[in-house]
């Protein structure tokens, strides 16, 4: 049914870069046979999933939204893809994304823009707009995203879906094409909080192949999502994210959601995180610095594209020509920002200062979690904005991430879920943040709000 739906609507949405219909059918058939034979199967066996095209898939082209990787077929699976296969979720295909996950609108992909199923003239969010559009457009019941500065939560917010960025280190980064390694984290994109808990269970867990993988045990996500109980839970509203420049209807839906939680027995308090106002600036130094280093491997020698200039094709000129053609404008901008911030003489002023701000943001979180169990804010300042509105103005695009970025700087988990319809009848999102390893709290509060 989902493959038929993709066939019917993806020419409009362009949520998928690659559809793997045969593989998906084969897995579904194998699950049917196993079930008929009375075999014990994992809870999500047979439920299809779409995977952001940043996770490598054995034998299936993986592009990260870039011309640089067009036609590159990885010889191995990302750990989370291995988990999906072991749990026997049919993989429907690979979803569209901003090039190398840089963006908030899925407009920088080399494979065309993705449209928002709620309104085809609006952005689906980014960088993981393909995954969220696939879920919101009923092309897939479940999808995988990655969140470096909000790329799971902001697309969820603008497509009326649920998105979870787990605690840093709790879902393996092995086989995810790295953007900013100290910030990247993969997680579920779904239509309900319980679905997210179930999918989170499948993809998470310790992985010796990821040096930052966490060994600690976690709470029971599914039980937390089903408990619907927030009595006594202390919810802290981040004062610094009660911005006047957030859309008034987005703020109204946020306040209503808080009122519902209060009715259900939660305690709502205001908390101050004074260093959050510097988080965006620190992120846009740290992220490009790490990305510039991670993207150095795309040199025309090892992966994908190779452009050979006619005149004097030395190795250096091949690299320059390949990178010149293979990377889009936003990726080049960030490589320039990153190499500048890391360069000798500027390192202390830029990268070094940004790392200090990162520590201050972490301290704000630590202080807040002494007073409350979870933090809350609107996920994004506005509903889905029109396609083309911000793509030529990076500053306005970056400002969209103001509420989501602090969680990545601190490594803490976050969830976005719908708070209701705001401007132009489009969905708005509310975000909850919990302390590291406290992901079950997100499922508890999210499950209760959804109910």
Active site residues: 52, 127, 151
Give the C-alpha separation, 161 to 163, whole Å: 7
Minimum CB distance to ligand GLN smaller for 149 or for 160 = 149
Minimum CB distance to ligand GLN smaller for 148 or for 257 = 148
Beta carbon of residue 343, minimum distance to ligand GLN (angstroms, whole number): 21
Beta carbon of residue 54, minimum distance to ligand GLN (angstroms, whole number): 8
Cβ atoms within 10 Å of 181's Cβ, excluding its own: 16
Give the C-alpha separation, 20 to 48, whole Å: 11
Among 82, 151, 240, 275, binds ligand GLN (CB under 6 A): 151
Residues 68 and 305: beta-carbon distance below 8 Å: yes
Beta carbon of residue 334, minimum distance to ligand GLN (angstroms, whole number): 8
Beta carbon of residue 338, minimum distance to ligand GLN (angstroms, whole number): 12
- 348-357 as b/e: b if 16+ CB within 10 A: eebbebbeeb
Adjacency order of strands within the sheet including 414-421: 16-19, 91-95, 49-52, 142-146, 186-190, 162-165, 414-421, 427-433, 374-378, 234-238, 267-271
Residue 451 DSSP label: -
Binding to ligand GLN (CB under 6 A): which residues in 97-136? 101-104, 127
Minimum CB distance to ligand GLN smaller for 63 or for 127 = 127
Helix (H) or strand (E) holding 255: helix 248-263
Q: Two tokens at 260?
A: 């519902």
Only segment of 145-153, 205-213, 231-239, 416-424 that touches ligand GLN (CB under 6 A): 145-153
- The pattern of x and - marking residues 237 through 276 that bind ligand GLN according to CB under 6 A reads ----------------------------------------
Sign for the pseudo-dihedral over CA of 244, 247, 252, 257: negative
Diameter over CA atoms, the chain: 72
Beta carbon of residue 324, minimum distance to ligand GLN (angstroms, whole number): 22
Beta carbon of residue 108, minimum distance to ligand GLN (angstroms, whole number): 9
Strand (E) positions, 123-277?
142-146, 162-165, 186-190, 234-238, 267-271
Cβ atoms within 10 Å of 144's Cβ, excluding its own: 31
Cβ atoms within 10 Å of 430's Cβ, excluding its own: 26
Instruction: Give me the count of residues in the chain.
Output: 451
Only segment of 4-12, 146-154, 263-271, 357-365 that touches ligand GLN (CB under 6 A): 146-154
151 to 24, 104, 370, 425: CA distances (angstroms)? 25, 7, 28, 23
Beta carbon of residue 383, minimum distance to ligand GLN (angstroms, whole number): 17
Give the C-alpha separation, 166 to 342, whole Å: 29
Residues touching ligand GLN, count (CB under 6 A)? 13
Minimum CB distance to ligand GLN smaller for 153 or for 441 = 153
Minimum CB distance to ligand GLN smaller for 281 or for 420 = 281
- The pattern of x and - marking residues 173 through 212 that bind ligand GLN according to CB under 6 A reads ------x---------------------------------
With binding defined as CB under 6 A, does residue 401 bind ligand GLN? yes
Supply the angle between the helices 193-203 and 79-86 in degrees, to the nearest 10: 110
Beta carbon of residue 130, minimum distance to ligand GLN (angstroms, whole number): 13
Among 150, 204, 411, 413, binds ligand GLN (CB under 6 A): 150
Minimum CB distance to ligand GLN smaller for 31 or for 179 = 179
Residues 239 and 271: beta-carbon distance below 8 Å: yes
Only segment of 144-152, 258-266, 351-359, 410-418 that touches ligand GLN (CB under 6 A): 144-152
Give the C-alpha separation, 437 to 221, whole Å: 11
- The pattern of x and - marking residues 281 through 310 that bind ligand GLN according to CB under 6 A reads ------x-----------------------
Residues near ligand GLN, by CB under 6 A: 101-104, 127, 147-151, 179, 287, 401
């Amino acid at each position: 049914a989902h493959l038929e739906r993709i066939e019917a609507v993806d020419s409009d949405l362009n949520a998928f870069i690659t559809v793997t219909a045969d593989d998906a059918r084969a897995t579904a058939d194998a699950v049917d046979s196993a079930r008929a034979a009375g075999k014990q199967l994992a809870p999500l066996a047979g439920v299809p999933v779409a995977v952001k095209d940043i996770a490598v898939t054995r034998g299936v082209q993986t592009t990260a939204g870039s011309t640089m990787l067009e036609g590159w077929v990885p010889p191995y699976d990302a750990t989370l893809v291995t988990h999906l296969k072991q749990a026997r979720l049919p993989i429907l295909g690979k979803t569209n994304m901003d090039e190398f996950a840089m963006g908030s609108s899925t407009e920088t992909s080399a494979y065309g823009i993705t449209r928002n199923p709620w309104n085809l003239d609006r952005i689906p969010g980014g960088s993981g707009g393909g995954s969220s559009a696939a879920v919101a457009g009923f092309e897939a019941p479940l999808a995988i995203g990655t969140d470096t500065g909000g790329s799971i939560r902001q697309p969820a917010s603008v497509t009326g879906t649920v998105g979870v960025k787990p605690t840093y280190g709790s879902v393996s980064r092995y086989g995810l094409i790295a953007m900013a390694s100290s910030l990247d984290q993969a997680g579920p994109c779904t239509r309900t909080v319980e679905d997210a808990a179930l999918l989170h269970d499948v993809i998470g867990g310790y992985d010796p192949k990821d040096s930052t993988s966490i060994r600690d045990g976690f709470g029971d996500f599914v039980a937390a999502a089903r408990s619907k109980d927030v009595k006594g839970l202390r919810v802290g509203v981040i004062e610094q994210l009660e911005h006047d420049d957030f859309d008034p209807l987005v703020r109204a839906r946020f306040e209503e959601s808080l009122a519902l939680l209060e009715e259900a027995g939660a305690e709502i308090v205001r908390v101050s995180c004074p260093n959050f106002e510097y988080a965006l600036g620190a992120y846009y130094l740290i992220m490009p610095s790490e990305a510039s280093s991670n993207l150095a491997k795309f040199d025309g020698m090892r992966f994908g594209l190779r452009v050979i200039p006619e005149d004097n094709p030395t190795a250096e000129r091949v690299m320059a020509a390949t990178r010149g053609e293979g990377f889009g404008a936003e990726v080049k901008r960030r490589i320039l920002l990153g190499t500048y911030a890391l360069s000798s003489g500027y390192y202390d002023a830029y990268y070094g200062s940004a790392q200090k701000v990162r520590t201050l943001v972490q301290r704000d979180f630590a202080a807040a979690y002494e007073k409350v169990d979870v933090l809350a804010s609107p996920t994004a300042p506005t509903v889905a904005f029109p396609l083309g509105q911000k793509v030529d103005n990076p500053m306005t695009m970056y400002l969209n991430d103001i509420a989501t970025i602090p969680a990545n700087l601190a490594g803490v988990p976050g969830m976005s879920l719908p708070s209701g319809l705001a401007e132009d009848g489009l969905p708005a999102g509310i975000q909850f943040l919990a302390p590291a390893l406290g992901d079950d709290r997100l499922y508890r509060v999210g499950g209760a709000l959804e109910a």
